[in-house]
């Protein structure tokens, strides 16, 4: 399999963590978003959104959207599981992940922040508000959870989404004063799969 | 079960369609978003994002985030299935749904459009751009699909997400010149589950 991505792409980072946790090796194909390589005609023909990540399967099929890719990996490589076995617990983990994937990350990505700048707004302030609102809700969703990870004793889809989003939070200067979130991040960062997935560890990272 | 929602909420609409297709009856609890009822303390304590929809289970558990709720319904009430049986086909349907759920809808919801207005921007123009970009990608994702529905002979999660988003597209004046999308919408609108889920059919709808 080949993973089309970019070292600084938060959504690609999620997929790298999931692959690492499941110990699935893939070839990484870097698309430099600063050069617009994701808008190249041959890539756009296969991924009409022109986004990363995309996972190319052995037969050439291209899967898009990070959460859909991770669901695919979860089905094909079930161990270790990134979703709990109980349906209600699974719904909770998915909801936590979707707070970040739907209500935080897409509203503070580069494309949107450029539009905010074009309107004369402050992109940093816009991003800070969006991220703080979302992570504040995430902290509340983690209340009553006692495991070292977001939902239990092992990392789940929730942790996979949370850690890259925290990097964005720091980048935009969001005060990280959420004790449960901080404890979860520390637990994740102790794991090799999370360490290896970090942007600065990627082959295409800036020196 | 009780569904907390609002007649005009696109995300609630998705859940109504899924419930209808699966012939699952729930009590509907209307929260008037114009009056801020979703920010009431008792609701916010259970759903820290203060959003609709939320699905309350028989034991009082509250599930949030429309896609997570639909995944739960899919697991608990597997027939008729909203996801195909094949893992790759499932990933395609999920990705299509996530284009709308992650990259379109949250960027054109009321909260964001109010921020755009506060910056002196044109909320309608902002929404039109976001929706047109997303649906244009969706139309491309549907190329090569031949069923009356988005992905095959029966409605799937893709159709559940698409139909409410098309209502938003019309509301903001997006030209709907996508033949595959239009044909899929017509097929969906012929089904009672899609008809009954429409905003104007809800008990809390404006007269």
Which domains, ranges and CATH numbers included, belong to chain A? 2-80+196-201 (3.40.30.10), 87-194 (1.20.1050.10)
**Residue B138 CA, distance from chain mean position:** 15
Contact B68 A94 (CB under 8 A): yes
- Touching check for A153 and chain B: CB below 8 Å? no
Q: How many CB atoms lie within 10 A of CB A189?
A: 12
pLDDT at A207 over 90: no
- Touching check for B37 and chain A: CB below 8 Å? no
Rounded to a whole number of angstroms, the distance from the CA of A181 to the nearest CA of chain B is 15
A27-30 and B2-5: which strand pairing? unpaired
Q: Each residue of A149-172: pLDDT tens digit?
A: 999 999 999 999 999 999 999 999
Amino acid A55: pLDDT: 98
Q: What own/partner pairs with CB < 8 Å and gap ≥ 24 does B168-177 have? A: B168/B10, B168/B105, B168/B108, B168/B127, B168/B131, B169/B131, B169/B132, B169/B135, B172/B108, B172/B124, B172/B127, B172/B128, B172/B131, B173/B124, B173/B128, B174/B128, B174/B131, B174/B132, B174/B135, B175/B132, B176/B135
Query: For all residues of chain A together, what is the average pLDDT?
Result: 97
B-chain residues near A137 (CB < 8 A) = 48-49
Amino acid A22: pLDDT: 98
pLDDT at B207 over 90: no
User: Which residues fall within 8 angstroms of residue A191, CB to CB, at 6 or more apart?
Assistant: A21, A155
Confidence band, pLDDT 50/70/90 cuts, at residue B203: very high
Confidence band, pLDDT 50/70/90 cuts, at residue B47: very high
Backbone angles phi, psi at A109, to 5 degrees: -80, 170
- Touching check for B76 and chain A: CB below 8 Å? yes
- Touching check for B35 and chain A: CB below 8 Å? no
pLDDT at A51 over 90: yes
d(CA A51, CA A116): 20
Query: For all residues of chain B together, what is the average pLDDT?
Result: 97
Instruction: Express as a percent the part of chain A with pLDDT over 70.
Output: 100
d(CA A112, CA A64): 20
A-chain residues near B64 (CB < 8 A) = 95
Q: B53: cis peptide before it, omega within 30°?
A: yes
Amino acid B15: pLDDT: 98
d(CA B88, CA A9): 24
Rounded mean pLDDT, B23-39: 94
ipTM over 0.95: yes
Backbone angles phi, psi at A108, to 5 degrees: -125, 20
pLDDT at A73 over 90: yes
């Amino acid at each position: 399999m080949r993973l089309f991505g970019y070292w600084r792409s938060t959504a690609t980072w999620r997929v790298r963590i999931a692959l690492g946790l499941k110990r699935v090796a893939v070839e990484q194909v870097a698309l430099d978003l600063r050069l617009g390589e994701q808008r190249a005609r041959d890539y756009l023909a296969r991924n009409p959104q022109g986004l990363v990540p995309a996972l190319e399967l052995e037969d050439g099929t291209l899967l898009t959207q990070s959460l859909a890719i991770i669901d695919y990996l979860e089905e094909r490589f079930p161990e270790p599981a990134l979703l709990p076995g109980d349906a209600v617990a699974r719904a909770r983990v998915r909801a936590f992940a979707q707070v970040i994937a739907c209500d935080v990350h897409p509203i503070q990505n580069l494309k949107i922040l450029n539009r905010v700048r074009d309107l004369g707004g402050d992109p940093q302030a816009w991003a800070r508000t969006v991220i703080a609102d979302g992570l504040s809700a995430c902290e509340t969703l983690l209340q009553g959870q006692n495991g070292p990870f977001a939902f239990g004793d092992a990392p789940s889809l929730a942790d996979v989404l949370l850690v890259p989003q925290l990097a964005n939070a720091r980048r935009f200067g969001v005060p990280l004063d959420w004790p449960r979130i901080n404890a979860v991040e520390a637990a994740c960062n102790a794991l090799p799969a999370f360490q290896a997935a970090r942007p600065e560890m990627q082959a295409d990272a800036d020196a």
